[in-house]
């Protein structure tokens, strides 16, 4: 089970981190070949859309010990330069008493363990949540995870990328995709945080963009029960 502090950070990051993933996929596809040189602090995509970015190591999820290991706790001893985001996340954990961010090794929840039916990879759900927390702690939003030896999966943040302005079509895709993951606990908080991070209008029920708006209704527990979108392009038609 996630601690309240981690759940709050996941809510804060959920929409923007997913939007960053959509943009990264737009740029490089879902199955691009990649390589990382942690000594040099670089990450590269190969193939049709080649690019190299500065990289931050967050940590790794391993099926053997059934745990996540933060980069700063890895006995390989990576340089402080590639651990800045992981270290910033630990500092947030220390400030707010979030155990998952300050413990060098974090055990998978039962639902995150190998063989759990909803898990595409052992520890994926926990790792994704810790990466979301790291994104908001560091202000770096482009997460990438890749399989390495023995079923272990390494999680990184890519620097040097920027998001285009939020648009009605993109947010219209973003909202249901994020909500369907079940990652968001406090829907109001998640929407409010997204509005602040993307400099959008938010009055508690309506999210306003340059080319449209989304109005929300909530149940007594604060969960979204309905979304109504109004595009300026549609209104002008």
The tens digit of pLDDT for each residue in 81-118 reads 999 999 999 999 999 999 999 999 999 987 665 555 55
- State the span(s) of the chain assigned CATH 3.30.310: 168-236
What pTM does this model have?
Answer: 0.91
**Quick one: DSSP state of residue 181?**
H
Dihedrals phi, psi of 118, to nearest 5 degrees? -90, 0
- pLDDT at position 110 is 73
Distance separating alpha carbons of residues 149 and 27, to the nearest angstrom = 26
- pLDDT at position 233 is 62
**Quick one: DSSP state of residue 108?**
P
User: How would residue 30 be classed by pLDDT, with cut points 50, 70 and 90?
Assistant: confident
Cα atoms in the Cβ-side hemisphere of radius 13 Å centred on 52: 7
Per-residue model confidence as pLDDT tens digits over 160-204: 999 999 999 999 999 999 999 999 999 999 999 999 999 999 999
Give the position of tokens 């707010």: 96
- pLDDT at position 19 is 98
CATH topology of domain 168-236: TATA-Binding Protein (3.30.310)
Distance separating alpha carbons of residues 108 and 52, to the nearest angstrom = 32
Q: What is the mean pLDDT of residues 23-28?
A: 94
């Amino acid at each position: 089970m996630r601690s309240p502090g981690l759940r709050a950070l996941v809510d804060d990051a959920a929409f923007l981190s997913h939007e960053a993933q959509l943009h990264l996929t737009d740029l490089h596809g879902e199955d691009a070949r990649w390589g990382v040189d942690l000594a040099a602090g670089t990450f590269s995509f190969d193939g049709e859309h080649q690019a190299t970015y500065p990289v931050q190591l967050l940590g790794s999820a391993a099926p053997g010990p059934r745990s996540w290991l933060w980069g700063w706790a890895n006995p390989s001893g990576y340089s402080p330069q590639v651990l800045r985001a992981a270290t910033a996340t630990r500092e947030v954990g220390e400030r707010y008493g979030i155990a998952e961010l300050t413990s060098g090794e974090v055990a998978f929840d039962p639902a995150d363990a190998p063989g759990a039916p909803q898990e595409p990879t052992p520890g994926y759900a926990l790792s994704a949540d810790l990466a979301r927390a790291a994104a908001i702690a560091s202000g770096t939003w482009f997460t990438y995870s890749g399989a390495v030896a023995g079923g272990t999966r390494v999680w990184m943040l890519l620097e040097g990328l920027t998001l285009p302005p939020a648009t009605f079509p993109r947010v219209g895709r973003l909202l249901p995709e994020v909500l369907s993951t079940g990652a968001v606990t406090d829907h109001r908080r998640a929407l409010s945080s997204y509005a602040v991070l993307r400099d959008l209008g938010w009055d508690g029920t309506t999210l306003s963009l340059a080319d449209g708006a989304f109005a929300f209704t909530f149940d007594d527990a604060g969960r979204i029960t309905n979304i109504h979108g109004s595009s300026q392009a549609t209104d002008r038609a």
